[in-house]
Homo-oligomer: A and B are copies of this chain.
């Protein structure tokens, strides 16, 4: 259980507590259900009304909020409360409660190099030649492959699998059951295949090819920068010859698939169920909404934003905001969506027009 005073919490956020800074805070809560020893989060005026129905003595509120009018004894006022919540939530996070030290029922290879304070929880495996940086926590049932390096301050949750020969920077967070360094999906036929021809012809493929697939093994690894997070059950495939690369500061949500050889830039956000085909490059500060799909072998520029379920079949220049299947500039796409709703009527209108015009011509 966290235990801080209101003043301590404010100080940790670089702010000052208003009112009684000595109020003890054991957690955060929504205004309506907030107990007296919790900090209520009332970060917009519309959330603040509920304060009077809960038992909060203190709240985090927006800059300039009239906190006393809600019957509080103290408050933390933040210019951008959602940003302040980041620091606050880090302070109040009780963590997952994994064991500490090297668990006797783990399997750490004698030639692995672990910094002295590293935790390896039960039933985890650390391969030969792996290196784990200072302060890292390897949760239970994790596999770290041979010769893989992980920087300091990592938090690898239960069941994550990181394959051999990967290189990961500082402060890596890996959610449960994520897979980093599975093999790329790369197969080739002795002669040009159905799919290759379809791609060339964009039309019928016709004949049965009858060719089995030969496997191209993935000889590369995965290189990940600093401050990256990978979500639960997401998968990042290893590269064919060089490493697949994820840039510093990029955050990846749950059930995301990143194909072999991809290069993802820095500080990009890939939301849940995004899928990126092999050898595609994604720029920096890109935001891909949930379920966005991106073809293989294309390029998405910096600062691109794709709305939910966008299907990207060709490259997108920097700075564009896209939506739809296929991806279209968002304002155009919204016009198209509106027009699509009227489409059945449009078909009827045109049929009627043709009749009228044709009749007019006859009567002329």
Contacts and interface: CB of A to CB of B under 8 A. Distances in A.
Interface string A136-169: 0001110101110000000001110101110000
Which of the four size classes fits the interface of chain A? 35 or more
A308 B107 CA distance: 41
A86 B241 contact: no
A26 to B, nearest CB: 11
Nearest to A234: B233
B185 A219 contact: no
A195 B87 CA distance: 21
Nearest to A195: B287
A125 B122 contact: yes
Interface stretch (A4-12, A17-25, A68-76, A249-257): A249-257
A176 interface: yes
Contact of A311 (B87, B165, B308, B331): B308
A65 interface: no
Nearest to A103: B107
Given A194-B285, A285-B209, A346 B346 contact: yes
Contacts of A44: none
A299 to B, nearest CB: 16
A85 interface: yes
A108 to B, nearest CB: 10
Nearest to A287: B195
A217 interface: yes
A308 B295 CA distance: 7
A198 B255 CA distance: 24
Report copies per complex: 3
Given A123-B123, A235-B255, A344-B338, A163 B189 contact: no
B146 A143 contact: no
A326 B330 contact: no
A29 to B, nearest CB: 6
A182 interface: yes
Interface string A324-354: 1110111110111111111110110110011
A203 interface: yes
A232 interface: yes
A33 B203 contact: no
Interface in A89-134: 89-90, 92-97, 103, 105, 107, 121-123, 125, 127-128
A357 B122 CA distance: 79
Contacts of A209: 285, 303
A89 B217 contact: yes
A153 B78 CA distance: 47
Given A122-B123, A161-B232, A203-B331, 17 more contacts: A80-B188, A86-B188, A89-B215, A93-B217, A97-B127, A123-B141, A179-B254, A187-B251, A202-B321, A204-B320, A205-B321, A208-B319, A209-B303, A213-B249, A253-B257, A254-B257, A290-B293
15 contacts: A28-B241, A86-B214, A86-B216, A96-B127, A96-B164, A97-B127, A195-B269, A198-B321, A202-B321, A205-B319, A212-B249, A212-B267, A237-B254, A335-B344, A339-B347
